[in-house]
């Protein structure tokens, strides 16, 4: 038989041979090799080859190699926990994007102190360099083993494995676990690791189930890689909008006002105003009609839209929602049913479609208390909302228009490269959560899929991520903790128009029901601000900076000239601030640096006599000595082009 390696080498063998031996014989085995892919399937180095095979050796540089490495680290953690706390029940322990975790059912919560103990025990297991063995057995044998070990979750899992599927166990030393694998050759390879946090997690991710103890960890083949990763994490956390946004005075929260209700301070409010003006102006150019609709409505409206049935828990209700004899209001969680009234105002012709309605819309959602996060997840927010009411044949063009607008916005604010696309579909097994029939969902989803392909959107599918009325294209972004949120959403809705009795007279004089696109152009402003602060570490581009220029006289003597310069900048529409405090120059400069202001103009005798300014720029190379009017032109140009 012939074994071909992806690196080009070949090895011929009469007898069955392990991947490890074959690679050694071919002279390409080295210490960084963790596992292998045989004919495209990941497997361990001990796998015995008995027919012609294509083999790729995996190291930590390969995604699959990383995954296997981390998965083995998870097993080492589980082994350590079983050694220290034998009554703990094992559940699952996969690799994640950055590391791994293990879920345990433990009587006592796992604290930081316990975590340190587990780490110490893990070090021992690595040092013992235990050989990791794969064992395949029948369902009955496996059940017997785990019943004997008193591991009920493993027993449950074994019973869930479909007939005919291979049941494999992995053994390292005294520890044994049910696991599909693959794994490393031995525990010794996991040279550097750290347990990062301990927390609760519902069994099988269902909040009706028991809460288990989850321990997260990271693992690397070398100490250097571990240190580099930890340093990177520390740096990322310095960009946390929830930290710098408060420190720099963009927003704050107040106990008495409540959770998820941030106060936008002058700087935060300014940035949001700038974003909002930009969005509204751009939408006007693209044929949108601006509306302004009420923030509350009677329960009757939400009953028509379906929100009352599907979203009552998420709404702030004024009055008793269940007392039908009295009037009851609710703060709006979405704009849709309000904005539809614009269309419903009179009889509509096909000639009026598409009708593009936009609104800077404040929404209220009664999120569960543990959900709030800085400006990213709040209970009141303002969104660049909009609905396009259209004839079915206009869907492709209008959807493309929305996508173009969203991409233009993201590109302009500099977040496009940080985003990914998710095609959010319904879950056919959870019909209670969704309106409409499977046929209607099929139709809407097929339409969207076609549009995504046409528009070359590189997307991932998300099952059970749709809105209750239709599928979505969600534009996703990660925060500094790696948590993903939706920034922008485009939704196709073939259901709600009918519920609201929306119709138009078509060219053949028949009444037709329109389609609706629900869309945002820049998402909600609070969240966008948060992600901008994180992207730029607080140093927003000039066009968005709350203060664009600080004017600093060298000493008090030149405060007059500095004041004139400031006035000239302000007259040109530049957000300038005069800093004539009686403090040492270096001290004042340092304060503005900490404030991340894009430009400082230092003026003294030379500048005053020449009518110039000395600009010190936040970014290297943008500074220098300018004629005042030249500096104004420079800033005006940067604002106009929305330079990053």
C-beta of 145 vs 517, nearer to RNA: 517
C-beta of 34 vs 413, nearer to RNA: 413
* Residue 550 vs residues 135, 271, 544, 568, 618: alpha-carbon distances, Å: 69, 17, 15, 13, 11
C-beta of 397 vs 583, nearer to RNA: 583
Q: Shortest gap between Cβ of 21 and RNA (angstroms)?
A: 41
Complete DSSP assignment for 72-139: HHHHHHHHHHHHH-TTPEE----B-SSSEEEEEE-SSPP-HHHHHHHHHHHHHHHHHTPBEEEEEE-H
C-beta of 82 vs 527, nearer to RNA: 527
Q: Shortest gap between Cβ of 187 and RNA (angstroms)?
A: 26
Cα–Cα dist 338/340, whole Å: 5
Q: Shortest gap between Cβ of 263 and RNA (angstroms)?
A: 11
3-state class of 395 per DSSP?
helix
Note if the bond before 227 is cis, omega within 30 degrees: no
Q: Shortest gap between Cβ of 522 and RNA (angstroms)?
A: 10
Confirm if 613 and 626 have CB atoms less than 8 A apart. yes
Q: Which residue has the tokens 């927010």?
A: 381
Q: Shortest gap between Cβ of 360 and RNA (angstroms)?
A: 14
C-beta of 3 vs 114, nearer to RNA: 114
Q: Shortest gap between Cβ of 117 and RNA (angstroms)?
A: 15
Confirm if 308 and 274 have CB atoms less than 8 A apart. no
C-beta of 363 vs 639, nearer to RNA: 363
3-state class of 559 per DSSP?
helix
C-beta of 357 vs 383, nearer to RNA: 383
Cα–Cα dist 339/283, whole Å: 16
Cα–Cα dist 630/59, whole Å: 56
C-beta of 168 vs 380, nearer to RNA: 380
Q: Shortest gap between Cβ of 470 and RNA (angstroms)?
A: 11
C-beta of 11 vs 561, nearer to RNA: 561
Q: Shortest gap between Cβ of 327 and RNA (angstroms)?
A: 27
Note if the bond before 182 is cis, omega within 30 degrees: yes
Q: Shortest gap between Cβ of 214 and RNA (angstroms)?
A: 6
211 burial class (0-12, 13-18, 19+ CB within 10 angstroms)? middle
Q: Which residues pair with 284 in a beta bridge?
A: none
Confirm if 418 and 535 have CB atoms less than 8 A apart. yes
């Amino acid at each position: 038989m012939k074994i071909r390696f992806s690196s080009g080498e070949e090895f011929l063998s009469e007898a069955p041979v392990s991947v490890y031996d074959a690679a050694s014989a071919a002279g390409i085995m080295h210490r960084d090799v963790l596992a292998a892919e045989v004919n495209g399937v990941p497997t361990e180095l001990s796998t015995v080859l008995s027919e012609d095979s294509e083999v790729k050796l995996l190291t930590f540089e390969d995604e699959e190699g990383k995954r296997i490495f981390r998965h083995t680290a998870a097993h080492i953690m589980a082994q350590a926990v079983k050694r220290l706390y034998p009554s703990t029940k094992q559940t699952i322990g996969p690799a994640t994007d950055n590391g791994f975790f293990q879920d345990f059912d433990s009587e006592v919560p796992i604290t930081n102190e316990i975590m340190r103990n587990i780490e110490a025990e893990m070090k021992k297991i690595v040092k013992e360099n235990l050989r990791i063995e794969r064992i395949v057995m029948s369902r009955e044998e496996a059940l017997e083993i785990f019943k004997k070990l008193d591991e009920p979750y493993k027993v449950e899992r074994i019973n869930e494995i479909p007939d005919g599927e291979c049941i494999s166990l992995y053994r390292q030393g005294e520890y044994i676990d049910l696991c599909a694998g693959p794994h490393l050759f031995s525990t010794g390879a996991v040279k550097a690791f750290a347990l990062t946090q301990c927390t609760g997690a519902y069994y099988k991710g269902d909040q009706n189930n028991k809460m288990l103890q989850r321990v997260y960890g990271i693992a690397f083949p070398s100490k250097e890689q571990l240190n580099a990763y930890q340093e990177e994490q520390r740096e990322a956390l310095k960009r946390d909008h929830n930290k710098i946004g408060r420190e720099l005075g963009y927003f704050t929260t107040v106990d008495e006002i409540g959770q998820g209700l941030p106060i936008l301070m002058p700087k935060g409010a300014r940035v949001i105003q700038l974003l909002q003006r930009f969005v509204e102006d751009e939408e006007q150019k693209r044929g949108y009609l601006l509306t302004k609709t009420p923030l509350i409505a009677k329960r009757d409206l939400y009953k028509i839209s379906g929100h009352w049935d599907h979203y009552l828990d998420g709404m702030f209700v004024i009055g008793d929602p269940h007392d039908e004899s009295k009037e009851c209001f609710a703060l709006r969680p979405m704009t849709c049913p309000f904005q539809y009234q614009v269309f419903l105002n009179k009889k509509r012709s096909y000639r009026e479609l598409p009708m593009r309605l936009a609104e800077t819309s404040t929404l209220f959602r009664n999120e569960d208390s543990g959900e709030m996060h800085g400006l990213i997840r709040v209970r009141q927010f303002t969104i660049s909302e909009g609905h396009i009411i259209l004839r079915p044949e206009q869907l492709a063009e209008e959807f493309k228009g929305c996508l173009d607008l969203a991409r233009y916005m993201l590109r302009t604010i500099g977040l496009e490269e940080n985003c990914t696309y998710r095609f959010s579909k319904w879950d056919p097994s959870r019909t209670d959560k969704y309106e409409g029939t499977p046929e209607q969902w099929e139709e809407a989803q097929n339409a969207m899929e076609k549009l995504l392909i046409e528009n070359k959107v590189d997307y991932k599918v998300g099952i059970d991520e749709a809105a209750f009325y239709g599928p979505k294209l969600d534009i996703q972004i990660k925060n500094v903790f790696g948590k993903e949120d939706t920034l922008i959403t485009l939704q196709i809705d073939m259901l709600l128009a009918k519920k609201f009795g929306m119709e138009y007279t078509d060219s053949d004089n028949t009444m037709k029901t329109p389609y609706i696109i629900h869309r945002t152009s820049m998402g909600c402003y609070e969240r966008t601000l948060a992600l901008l602060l994180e992207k730029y570490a607080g140093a927003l581009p000039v066009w968005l900076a709350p203060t664009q220029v600080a004017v600093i006289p060298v000493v008090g003597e030149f405060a007059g000239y500095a004041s004139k310069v400031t006035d000239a900048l302000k007259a040109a529409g530049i957000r300038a601030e005069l800093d004539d405090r009686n403090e040492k120059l270096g001290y004042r400069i340092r304060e503005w640096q900490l404030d991340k202001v894009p430009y400082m103009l230092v003026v003294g005798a030379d500048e005053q006599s020449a009518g110039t300014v000395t600009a010190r720029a936040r970014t290297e190379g943008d500074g220098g000595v300018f004629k005042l009017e030249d500096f104004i032109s420079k800033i005006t140009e940067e604002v106009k082009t929305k330079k990053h």
